[in-house]
Amino acid sequence: MLSAIVCGAMSLAIPRPVSDTILPAIHDVIFHEIMAKPSPVKGLPAVEYIELYNRNPAPVLLKNCILAVNKREVTLPNIVLPPAGILLLCNSSAIDSFIAPLIAGIDKWPSIPDDTGLLVLYSSSRKVLHAVNYNKSWYGRADRANGGYSLEMINTAIPCVGKSNWCASTAIAGGTPGLVNAVASDWDDKAQPDLLFSGVLDKNTLLLTFAQSIDSVAAADIARFKLIDQTSGQTFLPVSVIVPPPLFNTVRLQMGQPLEPGHHYSILAAGIHNCQGLESNYRSLETGWPDLPVAGGVVISEILFHPPATYPSFIEVRNLSTTPIDLKSLRLQNLRADGRVDAPKPLSTDSRLLLPGHCVALTNDPQRLCSRYICRDPTSLQETTLPTTYVGEGTLRLLRTDSLLLDEISYNENWHFPLLTDSEGASLERITFGHPATGAADWESTAGTYGYATPGWIPEQQTDSDAVIFQNLTPVFTPENNAGISLAKCNYNLGNQQWVGNAWIYDVTGRPIRTLARNMLLSGKGFLTWDGYDEKKVLLPAGVYIFLIEIFSLKGHTRRWKQPVVLAKTLN
């Protein structure tokens, strides 16, 4: 028997026997494209829309499925979505604005928030099929987040990955309603559902946060989790495990034994995997019962207030106390030049523990930040809304929720190293933690060998201010030999002084071959490498070459170092 499918204000006939259809399971039907802010228009109608995509090899019946936008819900009409089919949903009054193979109108269209929104697709039995919790950072480009461009999924084969699998449409019109996405590809970075951090809801309930959506059925097994009391040596299993919908990226562990103040605990998670079957890489972390910090117990340790164009700023805080601190209990506040204060911004809206001695970088776009700077530990980043920071100067306060002042910094562009040619993209790092860091002497520009910023990690502090050591660790290297030493490497230790450095490679006749560094800010420990290629990316012949490094300081001190290195070739 054939049936006519009626959707909103239009009639859509799909000649397919209803008996051939199936009811969708999780990730069978997914969000495919989201036009949240259609104005200013780029080439499409000024109309919001949402696309659904069928990943199942069978046709899927969407009758009585539920679309939720934040807390507003609508029921989908009686539609059959064929395999690999794309369904365009929009307001019933706007159907005539689009030409698409499959389109359905919603009479009471749930308005899509411009900047941040939670979209959930439920089955007719209210089981989560797919959920997307987007924000402006998902666009990847600030200019496209301002309107006229849709968010498109890159690879439908990995629907549980989240933000990294979405970006702004590259279509000239700003989107591809009802059609294959302009950004579609088989990209897959094999990202894993790593265990990022823990929080506490009460003394018996731990909250674990993962990098991606996880298999909620497998993760609900209490045998997959262990809580180890490092102080007493006891091991506990949870009495219950809940994986809350709709994102399935957190786990609540209900423990029979309450967390003891002052005890150090470790959480172990085993067999946690995402929708691709990939298991987490980070499977354990420290945790404990948090305490409220006193003044100076948590401090601002780094700030990037003049980021490069298209990259986000960040503020790093460090826990100097001996107990875990809950970021939910902390606020950052901007103090204006005229003395007015802005509303404080929470460091986290959910419980997240910052362990003793650890630091966390706060930014509105961790993924974008780490595409520019070295992020050594993905667990040391926190996506949040930052207070206003100013390029020239400003004042930031770190507060508790009860308004107790923990730390304050009145930063200034002039605090950067004077010989730094351009401070754009360079952060200021705190160099003293033994007393309040209130002036320029307590801060320094992050060295170029660290990438000019170290979000979420603290560079090793040097104690010998007069040390200037260079060491060539690879006197012989073979660029074409992947199994051996393929790079020439020069290590240095410059103590706690800051220097400006230049580094070159010369051949034995004195001819310059390659510039490795030019006016780079150097300090502490680091290294420079050479791959055996010249400026034109041409591999050089075997022979002897010279490392030449020259550094100079603000005090006028100059150091030069040169050392031969042998470039060898593999014999056939």
What number is the average pLDDT over the span 94-98?
Answer: 95
Over residues 525-567, the pLDDT tens digits come to 888 899 999 999 999 999 999 999 999 887 777 888 888 999 9
> Helix-strand-coil percent breakdown of the chain, rounded to 5?
10, 40, 55
Does residue 393 carry a pLDDT above 70? yes
Reading phi first (left if > 0) and then psi (alpha if -120 to 50, else beta), residue 532 is in left
CATH class in words for 298-450: mainly beta
- Distant-in-sequence, close-in-space partners of 337: CB < 8 Å, separation ≥ 6: 394
15 confidence band (pLDDT: 50, 70, 90): very low
**What's the pLDDT at 461?**
62
Q: What residues form DSSP beta bridges with 523?
A: 498
Residue 140 predicted with pLDDT over 70: yes
pLDDT of 460 > 80? The answer is no
Mean pLDDT of the chain: 90
pLDDT number for residue 126? 96
> Which band of pLDDT confidence, cut at 50, 70 and 90, is reported for residue 10?
very low
Take residue 430 and report the two structure tokens written for it. 């705190």
Planar angle of CA 23, 163, 354, nearest 5 degrees? 120
Distance between CA 52 and CA 270 in Å, rounded? Answer: 33
Third-level CATH fold of 195-287:
Immunoglobulin-like (2.60.40)
Residue 502, pLDDT score:
92
Instruction: Note the helical H segments in 444-497.
Output: none
Can you tell me the mean pLDDT for 504-528? 90
Residue 168 has pLDDT above 60, yes or no: yes
Region label for 194, one of left (φ > 0), alpha (ψ between -120 and 50) or beta (otherwise): beta
The CATH number of domain 4-168, selected from 2.60.40.1260, 2.50.20.10, 1.20.210.10, 3.30.750.24: 2.60.40.1260
Give the separation between CA 494 and CA 446, rounded to whole angstroms.
14
The pLDDT value given to residue 467: 62
Q: Is the pLDDT of residue 463 over 50?
A: no
Instruction: Quote the tokens at residue 474.
Output: 């690879």
Backbone angles phi, psi at 450, to 5 degrees: -95, 0
In angstroms, the CA 189 to CA 388 distance is 33
The CA distance from 569 to 476, in Å, is 10
pLDDT level of residue 372 (50, 70, 90 thresholds): very high
**What pLDDT sits at residue 492?**
86
pLDDT in tens, 408-441: 999 999 999 888 878 899 999 998 888 888 889 8
DSSP lists the bridge partners of residue 89 as 50, 104
How far apart (Å, rounded) are the C-alpha atoms in residues 172 and 180?
14
Does residue 147 contact residue 175 with C-beta atoms inside 8 Å? Answer: no
Tell me how far apart the alpha carbons of residues 483 and 548 are, in angstroms, rounded to a whole number. Answer: 27
What would the mean pLDDT of 245-258 be, rounded to a whole number?
96
- Integer Cα distance of 206 and 213 in angstroms: 18
Q: What is the rounded average pLDDT of the residues 480-493? A: 83
Distance CA 101, CA 177 (A): 10
The fold of 469-567 is Immunoglobulin-like (2.60.40)
pLDDT at 504: 94
Confidence of residue 6 (pLDDT cuts 50, 70, 90): very low
Least confident segment among 146-155, 298-307, 458-467:
458-467
Taking alpha carbons only, the member of 377, 217, 354 closest to residue 298 is 354
Name the pLDDT band for 14 (thresholds 50, 70, 90).
Answer: very low
pLDDT bucket at 103, cuts 50 / 70 / 90: very high
d(CA 247, CA 251): 11
What is the rounded distance in angstroms from the CA atom of residue 548 to the CA atom of residue 526? 16
- Portions of the chain given CATH number 2.60.40.1260: 4-168, 298-450
- Record the tokens describing residue 348, joined without a space: 């986290």
Q: How confident is the model at residue 17 (pLDDT cuts 50, 70, 90)?
A: very low
**Position 4 pLDDT exceeds 60:** no
Q: Give the confidence band of 471 by pLDDT, cuts at 50, 70, 90.
A: confident
> Is residue 414 helix, strand or coil?
helix
pLDDT computed for residue 7 by the predictor: 35
State pTM to two decimals: 0.84
Q: Which DSSP symbol is given to 291?
A: -
Q: What is the pLDDT of residue 560?
A: 87
The pLDDT of residue 19 is 55
Average pLDDT in the 76-88 region?
Answer: 96
Distance CA 256, CA 235 (A): 12
Mean pLDDT score, 249-273? 95
Bridge pairing between strands 314-319 and 298-304: antiparallel
DSSP structure class, residue 115: S
CA 530 to CA 547: how far, in whole Å?
Answer: 9
Model pLDDT, residue 464: 46
The mean pLDDT value for 363-392 works out to: 92
Which residue would you say has higher pLDDT here, 47 or 418?
47
Per residue in 201-235, pLDDT tens?
999 999 999 999 999 999 999 999 999 999 999 99
User: For position 412, what pLDDT does the model report?
Assistant: 92
Tell me what the mean pLDDT of segment 444-449 comes to. 88
In the DSSP assignment, the letter for residue 333 is: E
Other Cβ atoms less than 10 A from the Cβ of 247: the count is: 19
**Please, how many CA atoms are within 13 Å of residue 110, restricted to the half-sphere of its CB?**
19
| Kind and range of the H or E run holding 326 | strand 325-326
CA 353 to chain centre: 18
* Weakest-pLDDT range from 238-252, 329-343, 354-368, 414-428: 414-428
